[in-house]
Structure 1
Amino acid sequence: MSHTTETLDGFRIEIDADAQRGDIVLDRGPFNTISMEQRDALRLAFEQLDADARVRVIVLRAEGEHFSSGGYIMGFLEASPEHVSHLAWNIAAPARARKPVIAANRGYTFGVGFEISLACDFRLVSETVEYALPEQKLGQIPGSGGSARLQKIVGITRTKDIVMRSKRIKAQQAYDWGIATELVADSELEAATAALVRELVGFSPLAQRTAKKLLNDTEDASLSTAIELEGHCYSRLRSSDDFREGVEAFHAKRKPNFQGS
């Protein structure tokens, strides 16, 4: 098995080349708090895995029973206003990555832990999950894109309820509201994550990258603009090797062998 591990401050990077999977694993027990310096390092980790040819899918997960209780609180007072104004850029790294990104959440997923999960493409949640943006309790607001991303998913009424009351959202409600992609028993989270990785690896890397970027870029667009951009992306893929392979495999009733070109 081809497997490498790199340990950094508060997290590690694992690459399983056989599974074409790269994991960023939060590991600062017991609650996996995320330091100011770690945010920049996490961004670099996403960029590193996005550039790694061995990796097709990126997974963000954590050790222990809680994904993350959020940021290291004193760090906010120690950081300069200019530094904290850049926080959202680091936490948006999963959305900027060209490859699909899966967040596997269990237990407390608060503050920046929730915000970075919202920047991922898929959120697989254990039944133990509690999502929250508790910054109002500190006399602050979410500062890494959390309220903005959440509002796109659940609307202004529910977002005000979550943000302005520092309300905790449990797993079933998160799934019902469309925040979570999939809800599984706690013991099944790793298996569900591995199954989604295997599924995503089976698609054309080029078509996956194109779909992700198109959907992210058109989230704020008018319907007519979104349809126009979709058409341009469709026509670009029309001349790809992967599309030809997909059509030929379909007619030959065999599994396609996509190359990402």
Structure 2
Amino acid sequence: MTDTSTDPRLSDLDGFRVEIDPDRQRGDIILSRPPMNVIWMGQRDQLRVAFEELDADDRVRVIVLRAEGGNFSSGGYIRGFLDASPEHVSHLADNIAAPWRCAKPVIAANQGYTFGVGFEISLACDFRIATHGTRYALPEQKLGQIPGSGGSARLMGLIGLARTKDVVMRSRRISGEQARDWGIVVDCVAVDQLVAATDALVAELVAFSPLAQRTAKKLLNDSENATVASGIELEGHCYSRLRQSEDFAEGVRAFHEKRSPAFRGC
């Protein structure tokens, strides 16, 4: 089912569409400017709003970011950066961080070229699934630039300083298999298995308590740059709050009754 949001910024979508499947409790944002799915400057703000709308939609438990055609995205519209002011481009990461800010789990299903902002918005998601033909890159050095939408910072958090320098400073392409081995993606599958792998991960996440999922995501995001001691303290507060939830009580009952829990998110 197509999204029916009344937000005026989503009335004429630029290079993507939004679909909601209430039965599977998922909302999809689908890049739809094949064959390369280039992301234009104005599209970034619309993508942010789309993520915010799906995050607020009670029908949606999991958000999926995917693309039409053989490539996820070759990156941004290059000439558009010359038209934008320095002040504007200094805040490009704000929109691309929308998946990270979502309370709900977000999956990126990547195939083919996943370059530049395409890679950066995927890195802002919680889970990435690649295919054997996926190629990741932050190629901005070839333009006399650096990644500007959070890519280098997020990548360094995943693979460390030395490997990030290798990728960013050499504009190096990473295969889907390499991304899996480095921990960038959770799975690397044949291209004809990407849909099935994404569907399976959605179904797995939907089965958990939505309250516990939201809590876990926020805890992990907030603890990313915290000390171990601070992270443990935050974890304790979150654990204490969930201890009082109906979902936790239902989970305990279901465990002892040897049945699947029926979580309600409260």
Q: Same fold (TM over 0.5)?
A: yes
Q: What 5-or-longer segments of structure 2 have no aligned partner? A: 5-11
2:80 equivalent to 1:84: no
Letter in 1 for 2:194: L
Shift of 1:254: 1.3
Shift of 1:189: 0.2
String of CA shifts for 1:196-250, please: whole Å, max 9, x gaps: 1011000000000000010011010000000010010000000000000000111
Choose from 219, 224, 228 the match for 2:229.
224
Structure-1 separation of matches of 2:230 and 2:3: 43
Choose from 38, 42, 45 the match for 1:37.
42
Shift of 1:81: 1.0
Shift of 1:122: 0.3
Give the match for residue 63 of structure 1.
Answer: 68
Provide the secondary structure at the position in 2 that maps to 1:115: helix
String of CA shifts for 1:85-105, please: whole Å, max 9, x gaps: 111010000000000000000
Structure-1 separation of matches of 2:28 and 2:113: 20
String of CA shifts for 1:55-90, please: whole Å, max 9, x gaps: 000000000000000000000000011111111010
2:25 equivalent to 1:27: no
Equivalent residue runs for 1:82-231 within 5 Å: 82-231=87-236
Q: What 5-or-longer segments of structure 1 have no aligned partner? A: none
The structure 1 segments of at least 4 consecutive aligned residues displaced by more than 3 Å after TM superposition are none
Letter in 2 for 1:9: D
Shift of 1:8: 1.3
Shift of 1:5: 4.5
Shift of 1:253: 1.1
- Equivalent residues, number: 259
Percentage of pairs with the same residue = 72
String of CA shifts for 1:136-158, please: whole Å, max 9, x gaps: 00000000000000001101100
Shift of 1:4: 2.3
Letter in 2 for 1:79: A
Structure-2 separation of matches of 1:4 and 1:153: 34
- TM-score for both structures, normalised by structure 1: 0.98
Structure-2 separation of matches of 1:201 and 1:127: 26
Letter in 2 for 1:242: D
Structure-2 separation of matches of 1:252 and 1:174: 41
- TM-score for both structures, normalised by structure 2: 0.96
Q: CA RMSD in A?
A: 0.8
Give the match for residue 4 of structure 1.
Answer: 2
Structure-2 separation of matches of 1:17 and 1:8: 21
